[in-house]
Amino acid sequence: MTHIVAGNAAPNFSLKSLDGKEFSLCSALEKGPVLLAFFKIGCPTCQYTIPFIERLFQRFKSPSISIVGISQNGAEKTANFNREYGVTFPVLLDEESKSYVVSNAYGRHGSHRELFCRARQTRKGSSFPAEGFRSCQ
């Protein structure tokens, strides 16, 4: 399992969303902070948490903040889950058939977890680390 350390660079990745759009972590971080929510549709904790993340998405909708789900299930099951739980934020597919490449890179296979990524920012000429990941590699 990958060891995730706050302040380190986040592993970059690209995945397709349910609507076929390509998502790149580094590209999203150029716009602002990113919340990644890894989930499996049969996980009771995920069924409880994902609607809360949806409320955050609705509350903080902004082109400079990205809230993204990463489903460890196939497209059809994930689409049904999204309908049932009212999910409208982008959901990416990290499927078993592709060995859960992104989930494994983050040490998140088979478990629910949110990770906050924020690019390093500058204040009055000095850099300060963010909580979570500081950038992507």
Q: Where do the domains of the chain lie, and which CATH numbers do they carry?
A: 23-119 (3.40.30.10)
How many angstroms separate the CA atoms of 35 and 53, rounded?
A: 9
Q: Which two structure tokens, joined as six digits, stand for 69?
A: 């789900």
pLDDT of 2 strictly over 90: no
Question: What is the mean pLDDT of the segment spanning 109-134?
Answer: 48
Return the percentage of the chain with pLDDT > 70, whole number: 74
pLDDT of 87 strictly over 70: yes
- Residue 124's pLDDT is 38
- Calculate the CA 41 to chain-centre distance: 15
Q: Are 66 and 31 in contact (CB under 8 A)?
A: yes
